[in-house]
Structure 1
Amino acid sequence: MNLVTAIENFKPWNEQEEYDKLLMLAELKNNPQAFDRESLTVHFTASAWVVNQNKDKILMIYHNIYDSWSWLGGHADGDQDLLHVAIKEVKEESGLTEVTPLMEDIFSLEVLTVDGHIKHGKYVSSHLHMNVTYLIEADETAPLSIKPDENSGISWYTFEEGLERSTQYWFKEWVYPKLNKKLELFKQNKLN
């Protein structure tokens, strides 16, 4: 299924996802450059809510640019298969070699603001990330390794510890709690 169809079929869980879905569909229709970093205003990205096999812990990295513990993920860089992007990013950022999507469908949608920053010695202007999140499982006993150009730490945390570790207000107050609530519904087979 292509991304437009996947987003059209996505059932928003709350008002944030409802409005972000509309914005993403408009960008997909009107901004063919949105899958490339050359777009000045919008980049499509994929993130992963990586859970252990018991689904009681999440994997987080210490993100160097955001200076905070964070989920895993990255830019589409031209790839419109965002599940593929999410899996690739998890492997690159964590050193994990085996990860399993718990569902092929989109788990969550978020439009995220990104402040201007320096990356690889070059200034990147403030912009939006049209972020598609997938639910992915990994073995918490598998070896982990950091990706020094992007993160400086990686660890499994309980949901409460993960929230406590994050210093990004929007993520801590809105995104991560939503993902944890949706995960609880998924575990109960109640996430439609």
Structure 2
Amino acid sequence: MSFNLEKEILKYSPCCEQEKADKELILNLLKKEENLLNRDNKICHFTASSWIVNKEKTKILMIHHNIYNSWSWTGGHADGEEDLLDVSVREAQEETGLKNINILFKDIFSIEILTVNGHIKNGKYISAHLHLNLTFLLEADENDLLFIKPDENSGVKWFKLEDSINISNEDNMKIIYKKLNNKLNSIY
């Protein structure tokens, strides 16, 4: 299946007001902005994240993100690739060391626009901007070996669903993680 970004976003059914508003804005940005798949667009660009669950759907795999100094989902920039599902899987593997990841749904699991504060990365200042984020639901075996990616994270760990919200230092992400867990619980 070929991933058509605009088509996938159009067919996505928002679960709440946040997703409805963010979907509408993302679709408008797709029509008006250039280079949304690249960081060349300094205002906003696409990212893909993963909500990685264990087989029993009772735990979430998270990384301790270096820039945000917080436990976080996995994910990264599109960097020119339109197939954000592939991006989410690749980033999950790179950031956790997992070799075997199952895609539970090929469709988008969640959609959100995330604010990114200005920060230093690789010795260079990155101005505040927006991530137009698509999240995908993945599954992994919690007994598989995990590895950190030292340039991006300082920890990789499984957390109970309810703990995945509380261990984040970012209030805006706690809201997103709660939404993801609620969606997960409504499916399984």
TM range (shorter): over 0.9
* Structure 1 counterpart of 2:50: 48
CA distance in 1 between partners of 2:23 and 2:163 (Å): 29
Q: Give the deviation of 1:38 after TM superposition.
A: 1.2
Q: TM-score, normalised by structure 2?
A: 0.97
Q: Which segments of 5 or more consecutive residues in structure 1 lack a partner in the other structure?
A: 188-192
Q: Aligned to 1:171, what secondary structure does the other structure show?
A: helix
Stretch of structure 1 that moved more, 158-167 or 73-82: 158-167
* Structure 1 counterpart of 2:108: 106
Indicate yes or no: 2:184 matched with 1:183.
yes
Q: Give the deviation of 1:128 after TM superposition.
A: 0.1
* Structure 2 counterpart of 1:116: 118
1:138 corresponds, among 131, 137, 140, to 140
* Structure 2 counterpart of 1:23: 25
Residue type at the aligned position of 1:32: E
CA distance in 2 between partners of 1:61 and 1:150 (Å): 9
Report the RMSD for the aligned CA atoms in angstroms: 0.7
CA distance in 1 between partners of 2:40 and 2:31 (Å): 17
Could you list the per-position Cα deviations for residues 41-77 of structure 1 after superposition, in whole angstroms to 9, with x for gaps in the alignment? 0010000000001010000000000110000000000
Residue type at the aligned position of 1:107: F
CA distance in 2 between partners of 1:27 and 1:89 (Å): 24
Q: Which segments of 5 or more consecutive residues in structure 2 lack a partner in the other structure?
A: none
When the two structures are aligned, how many residues end up with a matched partner? 186
Q: Give the deviation of 1:32 after TM superposition.
A: 2.5
Q: Aligned to 1:88, what secondary structure does the other structure show?
A: helix
Q: Give the deviation of 1:115 after TM superposition.
A: 0.2
Residue type at the aligned position of 2:21: Y
CA distance in 1 between partners of 2:30 and 2:61 (Å): 30
Q: Which runs of 4 or more aligned residues in structure 1 lie more than 6 Å from their structure 2 counterparts after TM superposition? A: none
Q: Aligned to 1:60, what secondary structure does the other structure show?
A: strand
Q: Give the deviation of 1:163 after TM superposition.
A: 1.3
* Structure 1 counterpart of 2:37: 35
Stretch of structure 1 that moved more, 16-25 or 29-38: 29-38
Q: Aligned to 1:32, what secondary structure does the other structure show?
A: coil
* Structure 2 counterpart of 1:190: none
1:128 corresponds, among 130, 135, 146, to 130
Q: Aligned to 1:34, what secondary structure does the other structure show?
A: coil
CA distance in 1 between partners of 2:8 and 2:35 (Å): 19
Stretch of structure 1 that moved more, 30-39 or 151-160: 30-39
Residue type at the aligned position of 2:185: E
